[in-house]
Amino acid sequence: MLSRILGAIGRTLITAGTLILLFVAYQLWGTGLQTQQSQRELGNEFEQLLDGAATSTTTSTSAPTTTTTDPFAPPTTVATDGSVAPVQGTLPAEGDPIAEIQIPSIGITRTVVSGISLDQLKRGPGHYPETPLPGQAGNVAIAGHRTTYGQPFHNIDKIEVGDQITFKTLQGTFVYEVTEHLVVSPDQVEVLQDQGDNRITLIACEPKYSAAQRYILIGKLEGQPVPMIEGQAEAMADAAKIDQVSIDEGSSTPRASKRPAVLWGLAAAGVWLVTWLAQVLLRRRMRKDAELTGEPVTRSQRLFTWAPYLVGLPVFLVVLYVFFENFGRLLPGNY
């Protein structure tokens, strides 16, 4: 009796350990699969936007004073008070691609998406909607994962002062020169605020595999900034109204429901239970037939009893992947 109890405890611990290792593997490598697909889609969408911007610029009959020579940049005008007036354009909605970021020193090229929710950061680096767009005046803030979901900022600490960060946007191509590295706590939201200059602020978790602190990389814009899009200032003000309690998200951000994780967890357990029962029943039937016929069990018969796992294991892994996806949304930190 005691041996059976100890055996059951041992099998339970082995199963739990295996599931934990699989979840770690999912976090480190599995999450990158969906990010790769999202980046392909975002990249294609952004290229279409660039083509549309280039076409509209070429066919434009207006001749206002321009602030940049980039062919993708929309025309801008100077207001009567000498300031640069906003330009016409479409404001990006959450989930829209806004730029392509290139960091040659660490070999990174990614499409940046609008928004910093978990759903958006799974797709690529995310732009804080309460901050200006790349190339515009002010503090442009962009967050990215460091060890999961394609880990775009995995080597952010290896970017050196003086290195360049390039953004291709619908308003042109802009270069920032890295000037500073910082490590701050998650509640130091002042790093997102306007600092009186034109900078880029890249944000990732610190240290790797932890969400204890935030790694901040700052770069200064080379050249003059471009104007905002009409209505952008109002949209930024609306986004800034959210009670920002941490660098990651505002306190009003809705939390993920536990129901999908529970249901998919039960489904994964059910698939494995059915697979295991099928294997047990086949093995018992094989032994019973051998006893009735008096013939020894052959090797091929033993191998056949593992057939349920050949069918059930792929199904189990797919269901387990979906469970991990929903379970990951419940965790406080995504690194």
Tell me the CATH number at 190. 2.40.260.10
Helix (H/G/I), strand (E/B), else coil: 285? helix
Indicate whether 138 pLDDT > 90. Answer: yes
**Within this chain, do residues 276 and 160 fall inside the same structural domain, yes or no?**
no
Question: 216, 202 in Cβ contact below 8 A?
Answer: yes
Sign of CA dihedral 32, 186, 329, 239: negative
**By mean pLDDT, which of 76-90, 147-161, 221-235 is the weakest?**
76-90
Decide which of 240, 263, 294 is a domain's last residue: 240
Enumerate long-range contacts of 317-322, CB under 8 Å, 24 or more apart.
319/264, 319/267, 319/268, 319/271, 320/22, 320/268, 321/26, 321/30, 322/264
pLDDT at 10: 85
Residue with the bigger pLDDT between 11 and 173: it is 173
Decide which of 183, 209, 240 is a domain's last residue: 240
In this prediction, residues 222-251 reach a mean pLDDT of 84
Is 120 part of a structural domain of the chain?
A: yes
**Within this chain, do residues 67 and 37 fall inside the same structural domain, yes or no?**
yes
pLDDT, one tens digit per residue, over 273-330 is 999 999 999 888 888 888 888 788 788 878 888 889 999 999 999 999 999 988 887 8
Q: How confident is the model at residue 334 (pLDDT cuts 50, 70, 90)?
A: low
pLDDT, one tens digit per residue, over 239-257 is 887 767 788 864 345 667 8
Q: What end-to-end distance do the CA atoms of the chain give, in Å?
A: 45
Is 4 part of a structural domain of the chain?
A: no
Is 170 part of a structural domain of the chain?
A: yes
pLDDT at 57: 60
Q: State pTM to two decimals.
A: 0.79
pLDDT at 29: 85
**Within this chain, do residues 170 and 273 fall inside the same structural domain, yes or no?**
no
**Within this chain, do residues 161 and 281 fall inside the same structural domain, yes or no?**
no
**By mean pLDDT, which of 41-45, 157-161, 235-239 is the weakest?**
235-239
Which residues constitute the domain of residue 328? 255-335
Q: How many domains does the chain have?
A: 2
**Within this chain, do residues 161 and 39 fall inside the same structural domain, yes or no?**
yes
CA 130-133-134 angle, to 5 degrees, is 135
Q: How confident is the model at residue 146 (pLDDT cuts 50, 70, 90)?
A: very high
In this prediction, residues 99-118 reach a mean pLDDT of 95
**By mean pLDDT, which of 155-159, 250-254, 267-271, 326-330 is the weakest?**
250-254
Is 234 part of a structural domain of the chain?
A: yes
Give kind and range of the element (H or E) at residue 186.
none
- Counting residues of the chain whose pLDDT is more than 90, the rounded percentage is 56
Q: Residue 158 CA to chain centroid, in angstroms?
A: 20
**Within this chain, do residues 36 and 165 fall inside the same structural domain, yes or no?**
yes
Q: How far apart are CA 267 and CA 262, in angstroms?
A: 9
Is 22 part of a structural domain of the chain?
A: no
| Residue 242, C-beta contacts closer than 8 angstroms, at least 6 positions apart | 130, 250, 251, 252, 253
**Within this chain, do residues 158 and 77 fall inside the same structural domain, yes or no?**
yes
Q: How far apart are CA 320 and CA 331, in angstroms?
A: 17
Name the one residue in this structure whose structure tokens are 């767009």.
133
Q: How far apart are CA 182 and CA 51, in angstroms?
A: 37
pLDDT at 55: 76
**Within this chain, do residues 55 and 172 fall inside the same structural domain, yes or no?**
yes
Decide which of 210, 240, 270 is a domain's last residue: 240
Is 11 part of a structural domain of the chain?
A: no
Tell me the sheet residues that pair with 143. Answer: 126, 203
pLDDT at 252: 42
**Within this chain, do residues 58 and 109 fall inside the same structural domain, yes or no?**
yes
**By mean pLDDT, which of 48-57, 180-189, 305-314 is the weakest?**
48-57
**Within this chain, do residues 270 and 231 fall inside the same structural domain, yes or no?**
no
DSSP per position, 21-74: HHHHHIIIIIHHHHHHHHHHHHHHHHHHHHHHHHHHHHH----PPPS---TTPP
Question: 263, 319 in Cβ contact below 8 A?
Answer: no
Is 17 part of a structural domain of the chain?
A: no
Asked if omega into 186 is within 30° of 0 (cis), the reply is no
**Within this chain, do residues 89 and 182 fall inside the same structural domain, yes or no?**
yes
The closest alpha carbon to 156, from 115, 206, 199, belongs to: 206
**Within this chain, do residues 164 and 301 fall inside the same structural domain, yes or no?**
no
Half-sphere exposure of 177 (CA within 13 A, CB side): 4
| Residue 59, C-beta contacts closer than 8 angstroms, at least 6 positions apart | none
Alpha helix segments (H runs only) across the chain: 2-25, 31-59, 118-121, 232-240, 259-293, 299-304, 307-328
Is 133 part of a structural domain of the chain?
A: yes
pLDDT, one tens digit per residue, over 55-107 is 766 554 443 443 444 444 444 444 444 456 788 888 999 999 999 999 999 99
